[in-house]
Structure 1
Amino acid sequence: MKNIFLIILLLFPSTCLSADNDFDTKAYLRNHCIRCHGVEEQNADRRFDTLQAELSDYQIAEQWQEILDVVNLGEMPPEDEPQPSADETKRFVATVSRQLELARDALASGGHEQFRRLNRYEYRKTIRDLLGVNMDSFDPTTSFPADDRVDGFDNIGESLVLSDYLLQCYLDAASQSIDKAVQAQAVVAPINELLRAQDMCQRKYQFRPFVYFEVNPTGDYVDVGHSDPSLPRVHATRFKGVPADGHYTIRVKAEGINREHPYAPNSLQVDRTEPIKMQVIATNPKVARPAAGQNSSDRVVATVPLLDHQTKVYEFRVWLDKGFVPVIRYANGPLNFRTSLVKLVQKYHPETLTNNWKDVFSTEPSEILDVWMSDAYEGPRMRIHQMEIAGPEQRDESTTDLLADKHQRSLEPFLYGAFRRPPLESEVARYQTFCQSRMGAGESEETAFLTTCKAILCSPNFLYVETPPDAGESGDQAFRLASRLSYFLWSSMPDDQLFRAAASGKLREPETLLAQTRRMLQDPRAEAFIVNFTNSWLHLNELGSMPPDTQKFTSYYDRQLEPLMRRETQLFFAEVLHKNLSIEHFIDSDFTFANRYLAAHYGLPTIEGDEFRRISLPKNSLRGGLLGHASVLTATSNGVESSPVTRGIWVLENILGSPPPPPPPDVEPLEPDIRGATTIRQQLAKHRNVATCAECHRKIDPIGFALESFDPIGSLRREYYDSKGKPIGAVDTTGTLPTGESFTDIAQLKQLLLKQKDQFAHCLTEKMLTYALGREVGFQDRPVIESIVGKLTAKGDGLHNLVELIVTSEVFIDN
């Protein structure tokens, strides 16, 4: 019967069906829906017996739209309920569709206009582009409260509220940002510091197994044998910090020692096949002692493999803030070094043990030996000979500096950039008057100008993506569109070209709008769209929120897989975007991106090096598409075990666009089965015995079971294991969808999902439109989504085409 309904609806789309004004839609609900969604039962937390037939407000209309969607998809009424005739369903769909169309027209007078403030990420990017401030180590938003997320999105206007505390944060951030921009203008004499081994370490030997290994036995080099980031790093104490913000050249003469060592393979827990790596870190001595281990100001500026037993000068161009210093760390050496060294010395070098070698408080050896522990140790080390620091480079004078001329006459161009539109005469006059009042209070013109600029950065015209309704008289829609476009693609303000296009009055023309969109997507700043949209749509911002078990999943930490997982998905999305590949690739594909560590994690052929590259997946690989990405699989696990429920919901929400409602409050959640006493299928069977859970789990569980091929960090598995590592049963990935279609594994499930490509296109369009507009889309946007999806299909389903269709849609241009 369900298939008959679907065929009818496909042959006669709702837009083509004639509405029956006499058809009783409430009677249809009473006959086929109320038993499960009425006064006695509210399956899926839905109740329809009190639902009004008159679509008088958005909330009622949204409920009718939801009902129409599930009927169109053939998901309701359930198979075990009395089924309506095909004609009855056709009339119901036509009537509700017509009523929703009328409701859109009637409710449209209220408009959808939403005004949203900048979120934290957008604020930082805007400060960067407005003031020309390098943000690598500077963040004026550290005290800001976290932005609320709505379905993964942190740029939804309705959730981006203002508070008294946040207003105070804006005052502080404005002051910090202006001061930082002025500081960056400082011109200083360049330095050229040569730091030798003696400047970095003066310890000649190590007589007991410290938790770290750092010695300078001859005065010519420093050997580092440990790798734990919390332990000391190589730092030249006499260098107190760079004199000014700017780009510096750092040259380090270094080599790798004893990558191939005589000790047992697992004695140090390092990969012999991998080159020894040196990591250069910029850090702020005002935050913590640079040599003492990692701190909150650390920023990795370079990681390079060292040649074995061959000195080479490695050169890096890096940005350093005033006062920062470079430190050097052995990036991939032994982590638990002290424990390893104790065992190695006792076994291989007992002659180096002094009488007080176990005394952790001893600073001097109890006797003088011919060979010290550090001399005898033959394990892998990073050897540093010297480091040179030169700079800063001269500033790029071709870039516009809005704070270069600190006089009242410069307020107007500063207002133009900050407000992202031409300022009104009244606004210019208001801030000039404020500047004059500061000078009247005794401030110099320069100080008064900077104080006024700080005040401008606290204005709603700056803090909101588009001009709020009460912020002024400007009605220039072109500049609002320019801001909407730049925050969609760059998460920042328009550049000069986009401003000129808006000023010309041609930006709203499709040709100009498309040309700007294509240009902006090729700009490096479009990385913000790739990162932020994937974080939001795929919920990658939740990756790491439930860290995997440190004992069961050591590789996750040893190989620092989390950022690699996230990067794979970002590069995959970028490839589909820039090459305008079909969105089908998100469901299944024959390629992905990986480096040495991720390829090993996936069990793929060996890749050399840390750089990511596009790789072809083996035939019959389960990795194709997003469902094989470790980022998604880890983000949808609980850190102890995989979660079929979470993973199933993720697919329903982010691939099919039909998320289930939250579970009833009286149903206990599933706890991680840390004992491995029962299978996840057995645990979920208990949930399906609860009437209020059964309907949703009928859709959730089969999809989640297919993804059980992957463990909590995305590794392939065939069996479940208990806490002691013993197999307790084979992984069962079979399932049956509510449509009656069955599958045996994730590969077959992906083929079934590809049959629902149109539904996925609707879902992706809705997600991207939400991100682009900074508001939730509702029933009133449905015709726009339908139009975009129809055009996308005609163009071949390319992702780049989807971006262009959204940008040129009426709702985006006139939002």
Structure 2
Amino acid sequence: MTVLLAFAGFLLCSLFSPTAESAESNSYPLSGINAQHLGTLKKYCADCHNPSKASGRFQIDDLQLTIHTSAEADRWQKVLNALNSGEMPPEDEVQLPAQTKTDLVDDLGQAMVALRRKLSDRHGEIAMSRLNRREYRNTLRELLGVEINVSQLPADDGLSNFDTNGASLFLSSNQLESYLELGQEAVEEAIDHYLARNVAVRHRHEAETLTSKYRAHFAKWDAARAWRAALAKEGLKPAHQEIYAALKKKHPRHQDRYLPFYLHYQQIANAPPVPTDPAFRFFDNPVRVQQFIDASAPSHYYLLRYLKLPAIDSGAFITVPTIHPNQLPTGYIAFDLPPSWPPGRYKVRFRAARADDAPDDRRFLEFGLRVRNVDLLSVHEVTGTMNAPQIIETSIDITRKHTLGEHRDERQIYLREKGMHHQFHYPRKVFAEAKKRNGYGPEYVFWIDWLEVERVTTEDQPIPDGLQAVIQLLGDSATQQTRPEAGLYVHPAGGVVGRKVRIFHPDSGDNDFLHLREVQVLSGGENIARAGTAVQSSTHGNENERGAHRAIDGDLKTFNHTSNRATPGEWWELDLGRDVKIDEILIYNRNDSPAIEARLQDYQVEILDADNNPRTWKADPTDEELAAGFRAFSTAAFRAETPDNQLLERLVAYYHDKRKIDGLEHRRAITQTLAIILSSPMFLYKSESSLHDRQTISQRELAQRLAYFLWSAPADSQLLTLADQGQLSDPAVLRQQTDRLLDDPRSSEMLHGLVHQWLDMKRLDFFNVNVVKHRTYDNSVKMAVRKEVYETTAYLLAENRSVTDLLQADYVVINNLLAHYYGIPDVQGDHFRRVELPKKSPRGGLLGMAAIHLMGGNGDESSPVERGAWVLRKLLNQPPPPAPANVPNLSRLSHQILTTRQRLAAHQEAPQCASCHRKIDPIGLGLENFDAVGLWRTSNRYERPATNENREPQTKTWVIDPSGRFHNGAAFADFFELRQHIASHQDDFSNSFASAVLEYGMGRALGFSDQPFVAHL
């Protein structure tokens, strides 16, 4: 496979752009359609569609067998549409024999598919192409060293098969606004990463805090039950006979002590007070007490078993969720990363064990962000025992958004058991089944000792050219007075020595009060001052000390001051007690209110010395310094193309407008100016300017074309150096560089982009799987089966294996989770690796992968039609024509209890359907041994839902018969013979794959001029 892709890269990056073909090549014979077909149409249609009559303004006699224009092709499409719809011939005219019509529709449909490809041929012309979402994200990463979420940009689907097709990559005004926002976000993210490059923070969360929550829960339970018993005791007294009688009448089956006396709490004399412990959160409300009892009762005695488990004072067990997590989070260990922690990569470690009596199907833990919203990041098998727990390590990337405003909930990390959270009702079902099996409920399987997070420092990593330019522009970025950033951060780049930090509003007004929850001042990553405050009120000139708080290095005092001057001001000051080098100031608003956070953007921050003199740092850069910085950044952003002086002058002027007119501080003015560069055509488009004058692309353009093909990212310094030296056009050098790029981890971007789109894997996200029916499937499995496709392709590339291994192989590339899912024994480890298969295994190759079969269904049932059509398109290179508009709906058969094969027989009833389904259905039926989630089966079952007439659902079970015959081809007895026959079509499959590689890499649809390339590959 390496040879194939290397040769593709060599051809793709040929120095000469193909020239347009002659006019003669614009004549396209309608392949497969001949005079006999035309004679059939004339025989049955010419009576109405002739020169003298021309019903519908359409004539048959002037249809051409050689197509020159789209208009001529459209006339043939109208013929096909009329035949498919059954409109022609009319019912009162002589009809075509069924077999004749089926063959005509089949041949004409195939001819139209081929004709569309020919008419879309651009004769080798490559359009100037905008960066697609993947390329945009990766280009920002290479420029600034950070990755951002680009999902707010529109999808790059278009009309082509791949997101690299330049004809589909246009730019709208709405997109431009998004590019401005994302550009600024990327620069801000890069600055924060740079400023925190040497910040090392670490936190260990001890899991036994969950044990204390269990004990608090039981204390609350005991208090609630005691209160209810005391209330019942009072309610049963003769003085409340009327209340008792009413309740007994309404609840005759309740024992007296369980009657809902809480509903009449106010009418019961001497009723006991609601438990007042603040931790109980009953808020003097008897209804809350009963709600707590009702919610806790079903699982109370199961939860009590927890206290008898071992090692719960040095760790904690997690289990199936049995109660709302607000009451007791039994199903996970979670904690929030401190909001003061800077963005970056964090190592995550946890120490865990699996109980000795754990069921075999419960062995994996999920790790991710936002436990309630299920941002699943990784899955890990726990093999440690209670006597020898294991330490598992993974990682997580934290961005600025994880610490800001509405995104702060995203900084919660969690561990939980695999598969117990992806459907609300599923844990209840698991609990009920376990209780029926053992009498109490699910076993407590996973014990967690601790969960540890540690930031990875990056001071030793090289700084990208774009970020170097940003640093050059920022200088000492904090000026004398600076506004908080969007995230309420202030970064005096390089550190500023001072004693006091003052936060103030230059013109706040009488009742504009400062609402802060916390201010932190960091030096070397250490918080040297921490203070909290309540909502302040106007003191009309008075200073109010809000209390001294213990800091690491002595006391600090917090003041709030509002005066009655003409322009009243307000300030909030921290005295650090001595001069300190201040690296970062973090400000948190009260209640995390986004509205107050936006208001705080009007405040300013200054650092003072002991005598309250502002510390003055470097003044704004000169125009020459700005121009030099913008030139350096633009050159890096424009892929080594130097900007002209006119652009630099406009950028300098824009910066000054931001400073003087909008009142932005230096850093924000710089980031907004750089966002202009990142939303300019020179950044967003991959243009080959040299093609305006000649048909030879330049060496630098060759370097960029190669890099964006194999990395979805710009060329690196080695490629550009070779280009500048004129060596990249040397075939030997070009081949060597192609191999180097393929060996680089960044080539995974090409594999993901190519494979995802070539195999149409977006269908994996088109539907939700019925997990009640398919119990072993969950989000972890979905992540693994998707990754299997990519990892297998990556293995072929790394090991230089033939791409035809995707048709049939005696091995799979899986991890322990997939091995467990497929029933393959003795596979250990979370990483993907090659695993040999026994003979007669249905796995191996694309047709053995669960992801492929998942896409060939609806999440509930398999679809032989989807699967058969997919095989024709992707494996046999025989794409069927689009389905006609009047396809009979098989749902009309839902009231009948039929096998899948019997249902599909309906496709053969209409000739317009039979022409395609006689090719599609046999292949799809041959794959029926795989269920809707890709697991092997030998029987199938259909259930007809209950109706008003038939109250009981009716079912039919049958042994799957996968036998069949290819249309006009070989017969097969089972899936294995079907797969063997498909694998014999290596040339067809290789042609399909080679065409996909070239179309993806060239950024346009393939045409006649590309057929020699495809043939060579």
Q: Same fold (TM over 0.5)?
A: yes
1:32 corresponding residue in structure 2: 36
The worse-fitting range, judged by mean Cα deviation, of 379-388 and 160-169 is: 379-388
Preserved CA contact (<8 Å) 1:482 1:498:
yes
Aligned partner of 2:178 in structure 1 is: 169
For 1:56 and 1:467, locate their aligned partners in 2 and report how far apart those are by CA, in whole Å: 31
Q: 2:418 is aligned with what amino acid? A: N
In the TM superposition, residue 701 of structure 1 has moved relative to its aligned partner by 2.0
Task: State how far apart, in whole Å, the 1-side matches of 2:905 and 2:442 are.
Answer: 57
Question: 1:312-367: per-residue Cα shift (whole Å, max 9, x none)?
Answer: 573646343353745332323866556666787899889xxxxxxxxxxxxxxxxx
What's the secondary structure of 1:300's corresponding residue? strand
Q: Which amino acid aligns with 1:423?
A: T
The residue type equivalent to 2:35 in the other structure is N
What residue is the counterpart of 2:398 in the other structure?
320
Indicate yes or no: 2:480 matched with 1:260. Answer: no
Of 341, 348, 372, 1:294 maps to: 372
**Residues 1:457 and 1:470: Cα distance change in structure 2 (over 3 Å):** farther
Q: CA 1:444–1:609 in 2, change beyond 3 Å: closer, same or farther? A: closer
- Deviations along 1:34-55, one digit per CA (max 9) or x if unpaired, are 366779689xxxx997654665
| Match in the other structure for 2:262 | none
- Asked if structure 2 preserves the Cα contact closer than 8 Å seen for 1:546 and 1:638, the reply is yes
From 109, 115, 119, the counterpart of 2:132: 119
Kindly tell me: are residues 583 and 240 of structure 1, through their superposed partners in 2, closer, same or farther at Cα, counting changes over 3 Å? Answer: closer
Q: Which residue matches 1:707?
A: 927
Shift of the alpha carbon at 1:662?
Answer: 1.2
Cα distance, 1:472–1:553 mapped onto 2, change above 3 Å:
farther
Q: Residue 691 of structure 1 corresponds to which residue in structure 2?
A: 911
The two structures have a TM-score, normalised by structure 2, of: 0.59
624 and 456 in structure 1: CA distance in 2 versus 1, 3 angstrom threshold: same
Q: Residue 776 of structure 1: which of 978, 1002, 1005 is its match?
A: 1005
Residue 577 of structure 1: CA displacement? Answer: 2.0
1:767 to 969, 978, 996: 996
Q: How does 1:334-733 map to 2 (within 5 A)?
A: 336-337=426-427, 379-391=443-455, 393-400=457-464, 401-402=467-468, 403-406=470-473, 407-425=626-644, 429=648, 432-435=651-654, 437-438=656-657, 447-466=668-687, 477-557=698-778, 560-671=780-891, 677-723=897-943, 728-733=957-962
Q: Kindly tell me: are residues 221 and 333 of structure 1, through their superposed partners in 2, closer, same or farther at Cα, counting changes over 3 Å? A: farther
- Correspondence for 1:155 among 143, 158, 164: 164
Correspondence 1:221 to 2:315 = yes
* Cα shift readout 1:49-100 (whole Å, capped 9, x = no counterpart): 7654665457879999xxxxxxxxxxxxx99779xxxxxxxxxx9xxx9x99
How many angstroms does 1:131 deviate by? 1.0
Q: Does structure 2 conserve the Cα–Cα contact (< 8 Å) formed by 1:333 and 1:380?
A: no
What secondary structure does 2:130 align onto? coil
Match of 2:387 among 310, 315, 325: 310
Question: Contact 1:596–1:609 (CA<8 Å) still a contact in 2?
Answer: yes
Per-residue deviation, residues 412-470 of structure 1 (Å, max 9, x unmatched): 33223322242243565455554565467576665544333210111122222345899
Rate the CA distance shift 1:221–1:550 in 2: closer, same or farther, 3 A.
closer
Distance 1:691 1:117 in 2: 44
8 Å Cα contact 2:317/2:445 also seen in 1: yes
2:562 matched to which residue of 1?
A: none
Q: CA deviation at 1:279?
A: 4.3
Q: Which moved more, 1:515-524 or 1:186-195?
A: 186-195
**Distance in 1, Cα, partners of 2:808 & 2:412:** 44
Pair 1:250–1:602, CA change in 2 (3 A): closer
Unaligned runs of 5+ in 2: 1-23, 47-58, 77-96, 102-110, 219-295, 404-409, 474-625, 944-952
Q: 1:38 and 1:639, CA in 2 relative to 1: closer, same or farther beyond 3 A?
A: farther
The answer (yes or no) to whether the contact 1:676–1:721 under 8 Å persists in 2 is no
Aligned to 2:194, which of 169, 172, 185?
185
Q: Residue 609 of structure 2 corresponds to which residue in structure 1?
A: none
CA–CA distance in structure 2, aligned partners of residues 254 and 548 of structure 1: 30
Residues 346, 398 of structure 2: 8 Å contact kept: yes
Computing the radius of gyration from Cα coordinates, the structure with the larger value is 2
Change (3 A) 1:213 1:537: farther
Match for residue 14 of structure 1? none
> Are residue 281 (structure 1) and residue 345 (structure 2) matched?
no
User: SS in structure 1 opposite 2:137?
Assistant: helix
Identity of matched residues, %: 27
Cα distance 1:626–1:397, how it changes in 2: closer, same or farther (>3 A)?
closer
Post-superposition offset of 1:482 = 2.4
- Give the match's secondary structure for 1:555: coil
Q: Which amino acid aligns with 2:384?
A: L
> Are positions 1:131 and 2:195 aligned together?
no
Paired residue type of 1:281: G
Change in Cα spacing, 1:589 to 1:444, as seen in structure 2 (3 Å) is same
The one-letter amino acid of 2:794's match is A
Map of 1:241 onto structure 2: 339
**Which string of whole-angstrom CA distances, capped at 9 and with x for unpartnered residues, describes residues 608-660 of structure 1?**
44433312222233333212221111101122322222111111111222211
SS in 1 for 2:860: coil
For 1:521, the aligned partner's letter is L
**Who is 2:51 aligned against?**
none
Task: Tell me, yes or no, if the aligned pair for 1:280 and 1:326 is still in contact at 8 Å.
Answer: no
Q: What is the distance in 1 between the residues matched to 2:430 and 2:841?
A: 38
Cα 1:725–1:747 shift into 2, 3 Å: farther
Q: Offset of 1:530 from its aligned partner?
A: 1.9
Confirm or deny that 1:272 pairs with 2:360: yes
Structure 2 vs 1, CA of residues 34 and 413 (structure 1 numbering), >3 Å: closer, same or farther?
Answer: farther
- 3-state SS of paired residue (2:753): helix
* Helix, strand or coil at the partner of 2:827: coil
Of 139, 146, 157, 2:155 maps to 146
Q: How far did 1:409 drift? A: 1.2
Return the letter of the residue paired with 1:499.
Answer: L
Could you tell me which residue of structure 1 aligns to residue 415 of structure 2? 329
Q: Deviation at 1:496?
A: 2.1
Task: Provide the rounded CA distance (Å) in 1 between the counterparts of 2:850 and 2:207.
Answer: 42
Aligned residues: 683
Q: How has the CA–CA distance of structure 1 residues 672 and 631 changed in structure 2, closer, same or farther, with 3 Å as cutoff?
A: farther
Distance 2:436 2:929 in 1: 44
Taking structure 1 as the reference length, the TM-score comes to 0.73
State the partner residue of 1:11. none
Structure number having the greater strand percentage: 2
Letter in 1 for 2:333: V
CA RMSD of aligned residues (A): 4.6
Q: Which residue of 2 aligns with 1:360?
A: none
Residues 152 and 226 of structure 1: CA distance in aligned 2, closer, same or farther (over 3 Å): farther
How far apart are the structure 2 equivalents of 1:294 and 1:386?
21
Change over 3 Å in CA distance of 1:470–1:763 after alignment to 2: closer
Q: What CA deviation, in whole Å up to 9, does each residue of 1:552-601 have, x standing for no partner?
A: 211112x7322222222222212222222223222222111233443344
Which secondary structure does the structure 1 equivalent of 2:38 belong to?
A: coil
| Amino acid paired to 2:996 | K
How far did residue 236 of structure 1 move? 4.3
CA distance in 1, matches of 2:316, 2:28: 85
